[in-house]
Amino acid sequence: METTGAGHAPPTGPAVHWDVADRDGTVSWPGLEGEQWTLSCDAPVRLSFSGERLVTVDVLSISDRLRGVGISGAPGRHYFDSGWLWLPLSDAPVTRQVSGPARVEVTLVGQLLVRVRFRLDPATSGEER
């Protein structure tokens, strides 16, 4: 899923995609243009859902190169802490979580997130909460 936009206008919110069958997801923030760079790794991921809606993505072990990473439209707020990338997508109550090893790609423009893609290992299962 690709997103495009004009200039550096604050986004209306991230575009979120989760494919249950492929165990593949993307969170992207529209409206950022510029030179992009991507960090790819294998990392444990925890996904939180409210019903069928993805509400939080936690990448639990990722490079310190993401120190200070933020999101356009949220000045001064950082989403990386000591190897943990936290992406709050909604404040809806969590009803279910899925966690396990995943292939993760984080794409940035400068220190702002543009896209986070993750593909969980097919053997990953949901944990009811």
pLDDT per residue as tens digits for the range 41-64: 999 999 999 999 999 999 998 888
Full-model pTM: 0.82
Among candidate residues 82, 87, 57, the one with its CA nearest the CA of residue 67:
82
Among candidate residues 54, 85, 83, 52, the one with its CA nearest the CA of residue 71:
85
In this predicted model, what pLDDT tens digit does every residue of 67-86 receive, in sequence order? 888 887 676 677 888 889 99
**H/E element, 58:** strand 53-59
